[in-house]
């Protein structure tokens, strides 16, 4: 296995690093708040204070950062660029815009450093279980090089050149957000009309309307349990990234635009940090339903 660096030890970064280390991968880790990465030392992960120090001896670098601005800052302004060796491979697993992914790839390639954009879907549970969906953009040879590591985390698919992985992630988030809206509206319609939402969900399970969103998020709506898994604020950011990218490439996305407005109103009404299934609460309020 290649030597690795993992930059960004939040919930996902921690879980990814633990799973890779359990498979015997040698890892150096960095996080802006070093204390958050400290638990990894018990797994014989080397935790360092500077990004350049983390990447200096790594063949492959995984980035699991909050957004495009954070990736830009860590790579090009906090010194990681000074530690990267020619021939090393940066795998950006953060969710950023396709435009940013292309820009980062070009700047790294100019220095002899390879790049993949490889955003994830499946959350920390998927990382822990090795069932993540990994959408990868970049050169096929670089994908093949990282494939053994991807296989430890889930199912990786090469979808095109630089930026294509982020496009696939935007498609994923568009489908998630739009389907949450459809499920919430349909269940509320049934409740208003006098049907039992739980029985309705049971009745349509297995039909064409069935989906993971219906099963997972629909159940959260029925239970009125909006404990954060994927926040309204993050879903809103994803939809805005999708709309921004749509404008850049001359594509009209009216359904996504409508859901962006609904999630924005949900956030404005104090629900930004609840689970994105809390769109149900916004739609219920619009209809005078508690």
pTM of the complete model: 0.90
Segment (H or E) for 29: strand 27-30
Tokens at 144, concatenated: 């093949």
Say what the pLDDT of residue 230 is: 85
Catalytic residue among 36, 102, 169, 201: 169
Say what the pLDDT of residue 84 is: 96
- How far is the C-alpha of 105 from the C-alpha of 163, rounded, in Å? 9
How remote is the C-alpha of 64 from its chain's centroid? 9
Q: Which residues pair with 115 in a beta bridge?
A: 90
Domains and CATH numbers, the chain: 4-161 (3.40.50.720), 167-286 (1.10.1040.10)
How remote is the C-alpha of 221 from its chain's centroid? 22
Q: Is 169 a catalytic residue?
A: yes
Average confidence (pLDDT) per 10 residues, the chain, 290 residues: 91 94 95 92 94 95 94 94 96 94 97 97 87 97 97 97 96 96 98 98 97 96 94 92 95 98 98 97 94
Using the Cα atoms of residue 56, residue 61, residue 64 and residue 65 in order, give the sign of their dihedral. positive
């Amino acid at each position: 296995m290649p030597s690795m660096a993992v930059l960004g030890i939040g919930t996902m970064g921690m879980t990814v690093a633990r799973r890779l280390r359990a498979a015997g991968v040698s890892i150096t880790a960095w996080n802006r708040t070093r204390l958050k990465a400290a638990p990894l030392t018990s797994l014989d992960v080397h935790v360092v204070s500077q990004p350049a120090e983390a990447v200096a001896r790594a063949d492959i670098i995984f980035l699991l950062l909050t957004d495009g601005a954070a990736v830009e800052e860590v790579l090009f302004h906090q010194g990681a660029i000074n530690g990267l060796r020619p021939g090393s491979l940066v795998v950006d697993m953060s969710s950023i815009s396709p435009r940013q992914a292309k820009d980062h790839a070009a700047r790294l390639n100019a220095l002899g450093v390879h790049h993949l954009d490889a955003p994830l879907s499946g959350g920390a549970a998927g990382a822990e279980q090795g069932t993540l969906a990994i959408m990868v953009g970049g050169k096929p040879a670089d994908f093949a090089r990282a494939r053994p590591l991807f296989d430890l985390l889930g199912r990786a698919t090469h979808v095109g050149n630089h930026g294509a992985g982020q496009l696939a992630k935007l498609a994923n988030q568009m489908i998630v957000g739009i389907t949450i809206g459809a499920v919430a509206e349909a269940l509320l319609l049934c409740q208003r009309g006098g049907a039992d939402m739980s029985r309705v969900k049971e009745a349509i399970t297995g039909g064409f309307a069935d989906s993971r969103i219906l099963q997972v998020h629909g159940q959260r709506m029925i239970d009125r349990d909006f404990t954060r898994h994927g926040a309204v604020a993050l879903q809103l950011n994803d939809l805005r990234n999708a709309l921004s990218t749509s404008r850049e490439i001359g594509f009209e996305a009216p359904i996504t635009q409508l859901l962006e407005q609904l999630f924005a109103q949900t956030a404005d009404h104090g629900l930004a940090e609840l689970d994105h299934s809390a769109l149900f609460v916004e739609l219920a309020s619009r209809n005078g339903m508690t």
